[in-house]
Amino acid sequence: MTMTHGTLFKLQPGGSLQGEIRVPGDKSMSHRSIMLGSLAEGVTRVRGFLNAEDAISTLEAFRAMGVQIEGPVNGEVTIHGVGKHGLKQPEKPLYLGNSGTSMRLLSGLLSAQPFDTVLTGDKSLESRPMRRVTEPLALMGARIETQPNGTAPLHIHGNPDLQGIDYLMPIASAQVKSCLLLAGMFAGGVTRVTEPAPTRDHTERMLNGFGYPVQREGATAIIDNSGKLTSAEIDVPSDISSAAFFLVGASIAPDSDVTLRHVGINPTRTGVIDILRLMGANIELLNQREVGGEPVADLRVRSAVLHGIEIPEDLVPLAIDEFPVLFVAAACAGGRTVLTGAKELRVKESDRIQVMADGLQILGVDAQPTEDGMIIQGGGPIGGGEVDSHGDHRIAMSFSIAALRAGGEITIKDCANVNTSFPEFAQLARHLGLQLSVLK
């Protein structure tokens, strides 16, 4: 897909959101379905796969390593697994676009292969920190060259003789945990990864779904190289991180009533619901069920009067991707909202603390960035204006939602990367009532 960095979103102010939609499939699970399906023996069928640039980066990487993959067609992907030792050396560097998950998880898997690989990405991805994975991988015996400042391109010299480690992660990161578990599938001895706070556990759940044992002892995930993956049927629920824009939108816009169908509500992902409820949101979980080892529900959200809170730090890793839109909720909430303990936001697709504070200030919101969070004095008027998403998909969608409570038109620059996670955003948002036009 081509990226038109000039894509603008133009929003007319006001309105309400009403209706029922299903947002696209979960990004984290879509990545993992390709990775594990490729390493499995037999044919894996995936439904609900996210057809967006990030997940396609992973899919194309495995195609380049000799895996036959059909689709996605209507969210269906068929993967002809090559088994744990069946990947082939790609002919070219693997270009992973904007996708941090692809790069960090693949670095673990590829460290253990009997061939060398090079991982590259776009400007944002090639400025993100990779030592958080290359350092623990080096302890396992991996040989990875980064750029001098620890960023990609990564030159991985495959080493089939990795050794397991017992690793306490200095940061709560599901990407680091997953990277080490994937390396641990190939390493001698036992690999134990301990997280300082709970993070999304889709890798562990899906490995078990493919019949590969991963043990859990408290905060530690444990894996060794004795297992094998057997093909599975994967049903990917809708991405709560995409649903989040409408959870906030329908909460802040008057007269709103929205139902988001079939959303994944894995407890390691539902921090956004907990935080919004603490702020006074009216969100109901309907029709709760379990699909393919993951909990799912329909989420009904109606307008509510929100108030500012001090966001509990233990909820931060459970809502890590939702802070851009939670800042918009805070701007609409009466009183002060304080976020701390969220330094990681500075190394996402953009510096989400700085970029959101800059944009909110342009719209007249009292938003003060801090080293590890933000202080927002909410409830005042939100104006119109021109803000820059810095090519960060979630920033572009968050400022779109802010228009529901703005007093003037909002223009958002550099929105093409919405296609990395949620290509249908504009269409679904308009369907619910957002007055959004896309200018290329």
Residues known to be catalytic: 321
- Binder among 7, 30, 98, 101 for ligand S3P (CB under 6 A): 101
Q: Does 178 bind ligand S3P (CB under 6 A)?
A: yes
Q: Does 59 bind ligand S3P (CB under 6 A)?
A: no
In DSSP terms, which residues pair with 290 in a beta bridge?
295
In DSSP terms, which residues pair with 154 in a beta bridge?
119
User: Which residue, among 260, 281, 256, has the nearest Cα to 18 in the 3D structure?
Assistant: 256
Range in contact with ligand S3P (rule: CB under 6 A) among 61-69, 134-142, 174-182, 301-309: 174-182
Nearest-approach distance from CB 317 to ligand S3P, in angstroms = 7
Nearest-approach distance from CB 320 to ligand S3P, in angstroms = 5
> Looking at the chain, how many residues does it have?
440
* Sheet arrangement for strand 68-73: 68-73, 76-82, 41-47, 233-235
The CB-based long-range contact list for 369-373 (8 Å cut-off, 24+ gap) reads 370/340, 371/343, 372/340, 372/341, 372/342, 372/343, 373/311, 373/338, 373/339, 373/340, 373/341, 373/342, 373/343, 373/345
Nearest-approach distance from CB 193 to ligand S3P, in angstroms = 12
**Would you say 117 or 178 has its CB closer to ligand S3P?**
178
**Would you say 173 or 256 has its CB closer to ligand S3P?**
173
**Would you say 195 or 298 has its CB closer to ligand S3P?**
195
User: Which residue, among 199, 198, 182, 194, has the nearest Cα to 221 in the 3D structure?
Assistant: 194
Q: Does 175 bind ligand S3P (CB under 6 A)?
A: yes
**Would you say 178 or 350 has its CB closer to ligand S3P?**
178
Q: Does 174 bind ligand S3P (CB under 6 A)?
A: yes
- Binder among 45, 84, 192, 200 for ligand S3P (CB under 6 A): 200
User: Which residue, among 240, 351, 358, has the nearest Cα to 295 in the 3D structure?
Assistant: 240
Nearest-approach distance from CB 134 to ligand S3P, in angstroms = 14
Q: Whole-angstrom Cα distance, residue 349 to residue 353?
A: 11
Site track 211-240 with ligand S3P (rule: CB under 6 A), x = hit:
------------------------------
Range in contact with ligand S3P (rule: CB under 6 A) among 76-84, 171-179, 261-269, 325-333: 171-179
Range in contact with ligand S3P (rule: CB under 6 A) among 167-175, 185-193, 294-302, 328-336: 167-175
Rounded to the nearest 10 degrees, the angle between the axes of helix 174-184 and helix 27-39 is 10
Nearest-approach distance from CB 32 to ligand S3P, in angstroms = 8
Q: Whole-angstrom Cα distance, residue 349 to residue 227?
A: 34
The CB-based long-range contact list for 143-146 (8 Å cut-off, 24+ gap) reads 143/111, 144/107, 144/111
Q: What single string gives the DSSP state of each residue in 286-317?
A: EEEEEETTEEEEEEEEE----B--BPPGGGSG
- Binder among 7, 16, 28, 270 for ligand S3P (CB under 6 A): 28
On whether the CB atoms of residues 417 and 98 are closer than 8 A, the answer is yes
Q: Does 191 bind ligand S3P (CB under 6 A)?
A: no
Q: Does 321 bind ligand S3P (CB under 6 A)?
A: yes
Nearest-approach distance from CB 178 to ligand S3P, in angstroms = 6
Count residues contacting ligand S3P (CB under 6 A)?
A: 10
Binding site for ligand S3P (CB under 6 A): 28, 101, 173-175, 178, 200, 320-321, 344
